Structure 1
Amino acid sequence: MTDPTAPSEQRPAAQADGIVPDTKDWTWVLARPCPECGFAAAEVEPADVGPAVRATLPRWRAVLARPDAAVRPRPEVWSPLEYAAHVRDVFRIFDERLGRMVAEDDPAFANWDQDVAALEGDYAHQDAGVLADELDADGEAVAASFDAVAPGQAERTGRRSNGSVFTVRTLGQYFLHDVVHHLHDVRA
């Protein structure tokens, strides 16, 4: 699940936790609907992001209430708990990136290695109740940040470490796809 900052033709080796990093460049979701989850990111306007994020929060809470939330469906696939911890961090990272895009001219973002974050954050051993509360708080925070985007700010830019340019609009689209896609991953 690495931040796809460099396309790769080879499948990387599994990490210490058994997860094979996802090195695909997912920016293609900005141009066409995702065939896996069906989400059409290009249809999302910045004003839609906040309400859409809030609508996912009860679904994430329900995922974390499952008795098997910490169980991986296969050794190389994150458990619902691990996906939820990832989404919590996605909320935090994208809230920070959005804030920089609104406040700065064309900021460059450091690479965020999502697989390293999973290992260092011990996603597999999170407390589900605490995580549910963090998802609610961080989801509400990023939703409020998108709510505050003025119409004239939608085309402000920022760049990932690989040079991919996002506008506030496309950042919201890309971000929301990630959140919705992971609900699909955990069958919620």
Structure 2
Amino acid sequence: MDRCDECLFVYSEVPGEALPELLRGLGARYATALGAAPDQRRRPAEGVWSPLEYTCHVRDVLRVQGERLALALRVDAPEFVPMGRDERAVTERYNEQEPASVLAELATAADDLAARFAVLGPAELARTGVYPWPQRQARTLLWLGQHTIHEGEHHLLDIRRATGAGPGPDRRP
């Protein structure tokens, strides 16, 4: 995946040096989006997550991507284990979590991942790991960072849709 036709995210438009700033910005953007949701726990339709569930998911994506990044810096071409997104939402009871805590944890995870990417040079960004989604494929750490930004951007769109706010302004990097 190098482009998302749904949210219009284009991976190649995000250079490695932009990753730290974009990651750090996710905390404030999610606080704004979740704060604007009239009912943070309401699922707008069957099979569609609530704004709070999307926020929990992005927090966990940031954490898992941090683990994957660390692994790929230690091991040549590791195989990344799927994060179990749907199972995690159930077992972690996403929709029962405290929104303020989730937002604080998301901001911390975003800042931690940003700091990890900030110290990487071209050689480290070119290292690879086998990513399980959308199909099993070797991906660079640059792509891992770009994909993490895509996850954040895409789920902000999902939150806007879940709250009836529509797609909102184009805020793609």
Structure 1 runs (4+) deviating above 3 angstroms are none
The amino acid that maps onto 1:129 is: A
CA-CA distance at 1:145 after TM superposition: 1.0
Distance in 1, matches of 2:28 and 2:136, equals 35
The amino acid that maps onto 1:87 is: V
Q: Look up the match of 2:17.
A: 47
Deviations 1:74-97 (A, max 9, x none): 132100000000000000000110
Q: Does 1:64 align with 2:34?
A: yes
CA-CA distance at 1:56 after TM superposition: 2.2
Q: Look up the match of 2:142.
A: 169
The amino acid that maps onto 1:45 is: P
Give the number of equivalent residue pairs: 158
Matched-pair contact (CA < 8 Å) for 2:34–2:159: no
Structure with the larger helix share: 2
Distance in 2, matches of 1:53 and 1:112, equals 19
Distance in 1, matches of 2:19 and 2:51, equals 23
Q: Does 1:95 align with 2:62?
A: no
5+ unaligned residues in a row in structure 2: which ranges?
161-167, 169-173
Identity, % of aligned positions: 35
From 142, 148, 157, give the equivalent of 1:184: 157
The amino acid that maps onto 1:150 is: G
Matched-pair contact (CA < 8 Å) for 2:26–2:107: no
SS of 2:100 mapped into structure 1? helix
SS of 2:139 mapped into structure 1? strand
Q: Look up the match of 1:137.
A: 108
SS of 1:186 mapped into structure 2? helix
Q: Look up the match of 2:163.
A: none
Matched-pair contact (CA < 8 Å) for 1:63–1:69: no
Distance in 1, matches of 2:93 and 2:155, equals 18
Q: Look up the match of 1:104.
A: 75
CA-CA distance at 1:64 after TM superposition: 2.7
Q: Look up the match of 1:35.
A: 5
Distance in 1, matches of 2:125 and 2:88, equals 29
TM-score by length of 1: 0.79
Higher mean alpha-carbon deviation, 116-125 vs 41-50, is at 41-50
Matched-pair contact (CA < 8 Å) for 1:46–1:168: no
From 53, 65, 76, give the equivalent of 1:82: 53
Higher relative contact order (CA 8 A, sep 6+): 2
SS of 1:159 mapped into structure 2? strand
Q: Look up the match of 1:4.
A: none
